Structure 1
Amino acid sequence: MSEVSPNPLLRRDKGRMLIGAAIGTGLAANFAMRGGADFLLALNAGRLRSMGEPSISSMIAFNEANSFVMGFAESEILPRANVPVIFGACCFDPRTDLPQLVDTARRSGFAGIANFPTASMLSGSMRQRLEDADLGYDREMELLALARDAGLATLAYSHSVHEAEQAAASSAEMVIIGLGWNQGGAEGAPEDDGTLRAIEEAAIHVDRAARAVGSISKGTLCLVEGGPIVSPRHLEELCGFVNIDGYVGGSTIDRVPIESAIEATTASFKTIGARSTAPDTSDTMQPVFPIQLAGRSETIRRARDQLMRVSESDVAVHIAVPDTAGTRSVAETLHRLSRRRRREAVTICLDGSNSEERRLEIFGHVAGAHPNRDRGRIGVLEAAGGATLILDCVADTSCALIQEVADAVRLGQAKQIGGTRTYPVDLRLILVSGMDMAATPGLVHLPVPRLSDRTEDVSSVLDLVLRDLRARMRRPLLRLDAAAWRRLVDYDWPGDVDELRRSVENAALAGNSDVITPVELGDLKSPDAGRSLFASEKDWILDGLRRNRFNRSETAVYLGISRKTLYNKIRRYALDREGTRT
């Protein structure tokens, strides 16, 4: 096994992922760097996306790719870059002199070289012809070896486990485990292009490739790109299954956000002239509420009415139930009903987090403000201007941090940690927890009533649970028999809506027919009823963690156990994110 020493230009904050932005314009470079990108990739695909073409057009030979990239990178990206810039080099042209290309990139100021466009994106006869002509993946690895000898950083694109092994054997410092063209947005990949579509499917491939790289070259970093990862939430889900060192965003950084922003803004301008003459449909429009607010009782009606009232203003809100089940869904609904719905809500989970780390993330900081932060970062309060900030599991962090964030939102300004620069704050703040914060100044308290306090709503919630299970399980005939229905309606549900949903789902999985009977329901008073579906307690706990993206508070609620019990079991079975790879 060889050991690769990482290029000093590619610095990585301890405990943080390495983030690369594959772009093609100076505008995209500016804002990617403001957002904290660790390095930039100048790719022909990035430029073509800015021209309205899909990323796959980068594989078409309609111009000389290397001079194309060199042109816009030298004029727009390199002059303003304060992070390393990697040159996306094409090896398909047999006339390309690889040593000369490396020297040109080095003298132009590039910090590294990547093999893009790459033969790894091709298959079938086209790929074979390139390989037979010595213009395929082996030639790309030869280019990266020359770049490394010249002191440049090397980033290898790969899409199969074999290619990842080749890249590791070539001593590439970073290997991108590609998942295919991105699916999101108007120009996303079509359904039949071979892209890995599900997060779980992608995780299996990434894990195999990362293990293969690690067995060959210790120290080589493994990053992912493309496929089903079209938002930070999707990357977070992937990280719940496998360990990776970083992520490279192309379309997800410079195309998908711009598409939605331009479309939404234009549509908003378009509607202004029609508002004065449009008929008033407010009485007939029924907003879609989450299942936690379903029902016809007076208690739940008041909760929905209060949600509608506070949605009309920017007042800070605390959403609470005795446990935290479903409160994030209520928070996202409140955002969707507000005037800020055009921008995606930013959610930060404070579950068991280091308060100082979260403070740095939220407020931003200058270089050196913390021992683990040698580079300045813009904070969430500044970057998410105009949106809604949802702080989940606030009971698990310091009251001082919550008050500091609330004060910044109320005052409309904040200051970077360790610096003197003050920036404006334009956010709506929503806090989510199971604790009572009704007396906290400046907060509107929005309690979600327990199901046990409104038993007349159980039937309505059951209808929605069954409707959801029929769609997810593809079992349109799934139903409860009369005895099972009565048993569920008569139960007091100490675990609230989430316990009801979990009980019905487990019963549906336990039975062989589409009719759920009391036999499949088991002992409702036992929080461990779902364990019988798994070979061991470890498998049961791991399933709960994966279903809830390793959010421990939500997993504890889902499994019906206390957070302390869950933490003890995670330690006993080594089920942290490191342990799931073994």
Structure 2
Amino acid sequence: MGKFYKLKQKNNRFWVGAAVGSGMAAHAAEAAGADFVLALGAGKMRSMGIPSPASLLPIYDAVDLTLDFAAKELVPRVNLPVYVGLPLFDPRLEVEALLERLDTLKLNGVTNFPAVFHFGKRAEILEAHGLGYRREINFLAAAKAKGLETIGYVRNRDEANRMAAAGITTLCINFGLNPHSRDKSINDETLDRLALAAKEIVDSVRKPKKNLKIYLGGGPITGGAKLDKLCRKAGIEGFIGGSALDRAPLEKSLVNSVASFREIEVLQNRVERLERRLRQYGKRYDLVCLADAMDRMLDQVEAVISDGSHLILKGETATGRHKVAKMAVVRSIQKTNGKRWKLDLSKPQLSSDDFFGKSRSPGVRRRVGILELANESDILTLVGVEHLQEEDQNRIAEVILSGKYCCNGSDLERHSGARIVLILGNENILEQQLAQNLRLIAKEKAIEVPPLRDRIEDIPMLVKNMISEMTDEPRELPPSIIRILIRHNWPGNLNELRQAVKWLVEEKDTSFNQSRLIEHLSADTRTVGSMKISQRDRVVKALLLNNLSRTKTAEYLGITRKTLYNRIKKYDILT
């Protein structure tokens, strides 16, 4: 049956399958580094502007439609394995004739999508008439006997075990269809519930069948850090994405592109403005923000700027908090025409006197603080407040809440209308290095600059920018290297990424050995340990590395189980 692909498991390899509905989407998936593509009726529906659930309705001949576009649009145009998903609950379907037809189309494999369980309780009716899950299992077993690769979609332990017992060695856990709105985020509690459900399925089939390959597909998980967390917890080796890979990114791209062209009507200098927008694609205020997490954070910052309120930024070390703060200050000054002031209280030569001022006393000269110098149109950036005494931190909290303050050594109440940009570190908040009032304000009003592991969509552009800064001879990194960088956890955030890019730039071996890069990143992660990483992050990372085992995690951290339980409770870690 033409060129036959056999997917082989490699160490540390995470497989990505793209469920597509057009040759254009398959082409893009191949260019991005997908391992295989699936031709699905649901994908074809999406490409026609129809929601995926329409693939369950009897509005067209699903088998003919899916096989037709798979054979004409995918097989001739991509060099990847092509699987086809077929609705096997069609009563007109003749299994033997279908298998013979598949063999002539040069397809590499088949799967049971949409599966009968997508009908919910109505699946019992189909099962009673011989058109249910048993038929899907028998069909996949027959397809495998004919030499086709197979992927069995499952949703619980029973279905997974039935598939494995029939000899199906690749499974895909499916928690339903993707949410239509990409803005619907999943909370940690739901994520943990899904991870436990997936792990239960994985453990039930992998113990007796060690050579099984298990993917995740569909449901509320659409990618990014949450997908990584779930897969690590459950021991899943890959992801099959449909809407998450084609509809959502395409809709966002088209909305942005069409909107930019519609704006031409109302722009005075149309050509210059459009060129400027195209040059800045993927950036806002010179900040890379292809990731939704970064985009949402900048939306929140803009809202604070427009409101004229104080801005409080928090985040891990090296996430770019200071660059975001600088952007916010520049934007605010453009509106107010005021002055910029900055005070880094971590410097030993500075104290609260530089902020509040100090009154005259015998033998001590009057000292004017920046609160007195700044007027209502000015912006004050504060860094390192955790180095102040608790009383001074609470006084800063009072300035943020009411604008009221007193100079050091004076009881005369003053008022400041200047706006404050306060930069905090997550480790200062979590390890309670802040006074209570300031900690409460941070908890209520602080905007978090996302860590690099939550904005993996930005990594390719960040890498490109860093390379251009380091060398006059730009180098294009191959997709395999970019995938390794995306999969890394980046505890050191942008600093660690910069170190890794520097290593790649200085690497003389232009073939970019993947195993050497993985080894380098592992070694570099150990050196990053000298950076300020919060104790909570260390506990979370240790739990994930040890598959949520409390005993192994305690041994890994060098602490007792009781201490580990206390830290889990203290930092409110949901596992």
Share of identical aligned residues, percent?
25
Q: Do the aligned partners of 1:33 and 1:83 also contact (CA within 8 Å) in 2?
A: yes
Q: Which residue in the other structure is 2:459 paired with?
A: 346
Query: Which residue identity does 2:314 align to in structure 1?
Result: Q
Aligned ranges 1:443-482 → 2 under 5 Å: none
Instruction: Please point out which of 55, 76, 81 is paired with 1:79.
Output: 76
Check if 1:179 corresponds to 2:175: yes
Tell me the SS of whatever aligns to 2:228. Answer: helix
| 1:373-392 paired onto structure 2 within 5 Å | 377=480, 379=482
**1:320-331 mapped onto 2 (5 Å cutoff):** 325=426
Counterpart of 1:379 in 2: which secondary structure?
Answer: helix
User: Which residue of structure 2 lines up, in the alignment, with residue 393 of structure 1?
Assistant: 492
Asked if the contact 2:42–2:53 (Cα under 8 Å) also holds between the matched residues in 1, the reply is: yes
Is 1:304 paired with 2:325? yes
For residues 204 and 564 of structure 1, what CA distance do their matches in structure 2 show?
A: 20
CA contact (8 A) 1:159 1:177 kept: yes
Q: Secondary structure at the match of 2:103?
A: helix
Measured against aligned partners, the alpha-carbon deviations of 1:448-476 in whole angstroms (never above 9, x if no partner) come to xxxxxxxxxxxxxxxxxxxxxxxxxxxxx
Measured in 1, the distance between the counterparts of 2:240 and 2:69 equals 20
Between Structure 1 and Structure 2, whose CA radius of gyration is higher?
2
CA shift for structure 1 position 270: 3.3
Deviates more, 1:218-227 or 1:21-30: 218-227
1:400 CA displacement: 6.2
Aligned to 1:44: 41
* Contact 2:18/2:240 (<8 A) preserved: yes
Compared CA separation, residues 306 and 145, structure 1 to 2 (3 A): closer
Code of the residue aligned with 1:39 in structure 2: it is F
Report the CA distance between 1:161 and its aligned residue: 1.9
Report the Cα distance in structure 1 between the residues aligned to 2:332 and 2:73, rounded to whole angstroms.
43
2-side partners of 1:573 and 1:150: how far apart?
56
- Report the equivalent of 1:242: 234
Gaps of 5+ in 1: 1-6, 294-299, 313-319, 351-361, 366-375, 384-388, 409-413, 420-432, 437-494, 503-539, 552-562, 576-582
Does structure 1 residue 62 correspond to structure 2 residue 83?
no
The residue correspondences of 1:89-488 to structure 2 (distance < 5 A) are 89-124=86-121, 126-183=122-179, 185=181, 198-274=190-266, 284=306, 286=308, 289=311, 291-292=313-314, 304-305=325-326, 308=329, 325=426, 332=450, 345-346=458-459, 364-365=477-478, 377=480, 379=482, 393=492, 401-403=500-502, 417=512
- Given that 1:394 and 1:402 are in contact with CA atoms closer than 8 Å, whether structure 2 keeps it comes out as no
Q: Is the 8 A contact 2:304 2:310 kept in 1?
A: no
- Once residues 457 and 106 of structure 2 are traced to their aligned partners in structure 1, the CA distance between those partners, rounded to angstroms, is 37
3-state DSSP class of the match of 2:234?
coil
* TM-score when normalising by structure 2: 0.56
The residue identity in structure 2 corresponding to 1:403 is K
Q: Name the SS for the 1:11 alignment partner.
A: coil
Quote the Cα distance in structure 2 between the aligned partners of 1:301 and 1:26.
43
Aligned Cα RMSD in Å? Answer: 5.4
- Tell me how far 1:325 sits from its aligned partner: 4.2
> Whose helix proportion is higher, 1 or 2?
2
Change over 3 Å in CA distance of 1:301–1:262 after alignment to 2? closer
Cα separation, 2, equivalents of 1:570 and 1:32: 47
Aligned residues: 392
Which residue number in structure 2 is paired with residue 53 of structure 1? 50
Instruction: Report how far residue 61 of structure 1 moved.
Output: 1.2
CA separation of 1:25 and 1:395: change in aligned 2, threshold 3 A? closer
TM-score w.r.t. structure 1 length? 0.55
The amino acid that maps onto 1:134 is: G
Amino acid paired to 1:56: P
Measure how far apart 1:364 and its partner are. Answer: 3.9
- Counterpart-to-counterpart distance in 1, 2:22 and 2:263: 31
Q: Residues 504-558 of structure 1: CA distance to partner in whole angstroms, max 9, x if unpaired? A: xxxxxxxxxxxxxxxxxxxxxxxxxxxxxxxxxxxx9856756xx769xxxxxxx
| Higher mean C-alpha displacement, 207-216 vs 42-51 | 207-216
Q: Deviations over 1:307-334 (max 9, x none)?
A: 655999xxxxxxx99997479x875499
CA shift, 1:77, in A, is 0.2
Residues 202 and 234, structure 2, Cα contact 8 Å, conserved in 1: no
CA gap of 1:572–1:85, structure 2 versus 1, over 3 A, is farther
CA positional deviation for 1:11: 2.4
2:151 and 2:169 in contact (8 A); partners too: yes
Q: What amino acid does structure 1 have at the position aligned with 2:34?
A: A
**Secondary structure of the residue that 1:27 maps to in structure 2?**
helix
Equivalence for 1:525:
none
Contact 2:178 2:222 in 1 (8 A): yes
Q: Secondary structure at the match of 2:244?
A: helix
For residue 59 of structure 2, give the secondary structure of its aligned residue in structure 1. coil
SS at match of 1:93: coil
Distance 1:41 1:289, change over 3 A: farther
Q: CA deviation at 1:241?
A: 2.1
Q: What are the ranges of 5 or more consecutive residues in structure 2 without an aligned counterpart?
A: 270-302, 316-320, 334-382, 387-423, 429-446, 464-474, 515-527, 547-552, 566-575
| 8 Å Cα contact 2:314-2:425 kept in structure 1 | no
